[in-house]
Amino acid sequence: MFSFSEIQGRENLFPFTLTRHTADLRTGMFSIREKWILAQTIFPAIEAAGEIPANLIPGFDFFKAVSEQGLDHALSDLSTYRIIQYPWDIVTHNTWALVEDFRMITQTGISSPIPETIKLTGPAERLFIEEGAVVGHCFINTETGPVHIGKQAEIMDGVMIRGPVSIGQAAVVKMGAAIYGGTSIGPFCIAGGELKNTVLFEYSNKAHHGYLGDAVIGAWCNLGAGTSCSNIRNTATPVKVWHIHQKAFVPAGLKCGLLMGDHSRCGINTSFNTGTVVGVSANIFQSGTLLPKYIPSFSWGTDGGIRYEIEKALADINNWMAFKNQRLSISDIEKLTFIYSNTEQI
C-alpha cells in the first residue's frame, strides 16, 4: 500500500476534495492513486516509495526515477511530474497527464486490432483500444496526441476524437460527439455534444448537445440537454474563481470553465458563467439567463438560497445511482450528511 500525504493542497481543491482524498482526483486516464498502482506492475521497486505528496501527478520518467533512485531524487526533477494546487490545474495539466499515462498503458498490454469502422488520421501506434470496446463508424486523429479507449467502452457512429483523449471503462460516447484534445471521460460516463480540455470523473453524464471547455465535472453528475459553460471572458482577461476558504475570487488563468462537485445536477439549457464553482449535491435550475459564480453544496435552484433538504437529496442521489445499478454506502451517507451540516448557504 502507498502512503499519501495531504499536507499540501486539500483546502484549495474544493469542491472535489469534499468527497474524496486528494490522491483520488482524476487526471489523465486514471486517478493519482490508480497511477501508482499501475506503475507498480512496471516498476515493482516503487512499493517502498515513502510519503507521497497526494497532489503530485506522476509521469512515466518520475516512476522510473523513484524505482531506481528513490522518491527524494525523483522529486528533484520537476520535468517528470506536475502539481495540482487548485482544481483548474486538473485541466491545465491534463494533456500532459494523458500522454504520460499512455506511455504507462503501452508498457502493460497490447491494443486490440483497429476496427475497419474507424477512419484513422495519424500514427496507429498512438491508438490503444482495450478488450471489449465497441467502436462504430467514427473519426479518430492521433496526430496531436494519443487516444485511449477503455474496456467495454462504446463509441457510437459519427463521433470525432482528436487526441490526446481517454475514454474510460464502459463509458459511452454518443453519436456525433466532438471530443477535442485534453479530454478525459471517466469510467461509466456518458458523453455527447462538444468537449474540449475537460475531465469527467466516474459515472457522470453530459449526454447531449452543448459545450464544455476547460471544465472539471465530479462523480455522479448529470448535465441536462443544452448545458454549456463559458471558459473565457469576453474581455480576454484572466478568469477569477471563488475560493471558499479565502472568501475571495482568485485568478485562474485565461481559461477556466465549470468546476462541479459530486452528485450535482442541472436542468436543460443551463448556461454557466466562466469559472463557476458548484458544490456537492446541488440541484440547479435557473429562472434567468445568468447563474452566480458560486453555487453552494445542497442548493435547490439558484434563486433565494433555498436548501436541498438532506433526506430528499440522499433519496434523489440513490434514484440516479440506480440507473447504473449502484447505491450510496453507509460511509457515503455519513460523508454527505457531514457536508450538509457544515455547508454555509450564501
Residues 179 and 262 in one domain: yes
Report how far apart the first and last C-alpha atoms of the chain are (Å, whole number): 41
346 belongs to a structural domain:
no
pLDDT of residue 91: 97
What is the pLDDT, as a whole number, of residue 7?
74
pLDDT of residue 301: 86
Residue 52: strand pairing partners: 4
CA 102/CA 141 separation, integer angstroms: 15
Residue with cell 455534444: 193
Separation between Cα atoms, residue 308 and residue 315, nearest integer Å: 11
Angle formed at CA 120 by CA 114 and CA 122, multiple of 5 degrees: 110
Could you tell me if residue 239 is inside a domain?
yes
Full residue range of the structural domain in which residue 200 is found = 116-341
Domain boundary, last residue among 107, 129, 158:
107
Q: Are residues 325 and 239 in the same domain?
A: yes
pTM over cut 0.75? yes
207 in the same domain as 101: no
The verdict on 247 and 301 lying in the same domain is yes
pLDDT at 8: 64
**Domain shared by 232 and 323, yes or no:** yes
- Return the amino acid letter for 109: G
Domain termination residue (choose one: 107, 137, 167): 107
* One-letter amino acid of 327: R
Residue 131 forms part of a structural domain: yes
- Grid coordinates representing 190 are 456518458
Grid cell 447504473 in the structure block, residue: 324
pLDDT of residue 345: 60
Cell numbers linked to 93: 495539466
Domain count, the chain: 2
pLDDT along the chain (346 residues), means of 10: 80 95 97 96 83 95 95 95 97 98 95 96 98 97 98 98 98 98 98 98 97 98 96 94 92 96 96 96 80 92 81 97 96 96 73
